[in-house]
Amino acid sequence: MRVPTRRADKLPRQKSDPSITPEKFQELSRTLKNLLEFKRPKEAAEVKRLAEMGDFSENAGYQMAKSRLRGINKRIDDISDLLKRAEIINPNNKSGKIELGNLITLERAGKQKKYRLLGSAETDPQNGIISHNSPLGSSLLGKKIGDQIQIILEERTIEYKIINIE
């Protein structure tokens, strides 16, 4: 009998960005607790119940339950790894330079817009939260009020001026 290989097992795992806010750390901790205390035991009991029905090869319910349990276990592993490697973002507004966690006011073409610079796990560009790994975010790090930056996107250059750092 051939042992099945799963596509996810063949893919290399990419480490997620460890830079997170204290709020995100607490949210992930609550999610992990919920997975460990409620979801995994419930799904493990379901797998055990379906396993008692006999033939595993033709037991579609058992196969689906095992798949859900694998997904829960992977999520637990991913969250645990991220929490172990977490670098909590505590912005220092006194340095005068842009760091992770800062709220930055930028001006482009006479219009001002605010952006919060966070880690990749918390980005939400539509709400003004950008990653420090994005083209704009990476060019902002270490800059001061009054500095001008240029971003080259799809053969065009966009200029921003830093108005304020909070």
Domain-by-domain residue ranges, the chain? 17-88, 103-165
Q: Which residues, other chains included, contact 119 with Cβ-Cβ below 8 Å and sequence gap of 6+?
A: 17, 18, 19, 20, 21, 87, 89, 100, 131, 132
Provide the pairing of β-strand 129-131 with 111-118.
Answer: parallel
d(CA 93, CA 103): 10
CATH of 103-165, one of 3.20.20.70, 3.40.140.10, 3.40.50.10260, 3.10.50.30: 3.10.50.30
**CATH class for the domain made up of 17-88:** mainly alpha
With tokens 């009991």, the residue in question is 45
For the chain, how many residues are written? Answer: 166
Calculate mean pLDDT across residues 138-148: 92
Asked if residue 56 lies in contact with residue 62, where contact means CB atoms within 8 angstroms, the answer is yes
The pTM is what?
A: 0.79
pLDDT per position as a tens digit, 88-141: 998 777 778 999 999 999 999 899 999 999 998 899 999 999 999 999 999 999
d(CA 88, CA 18): 8
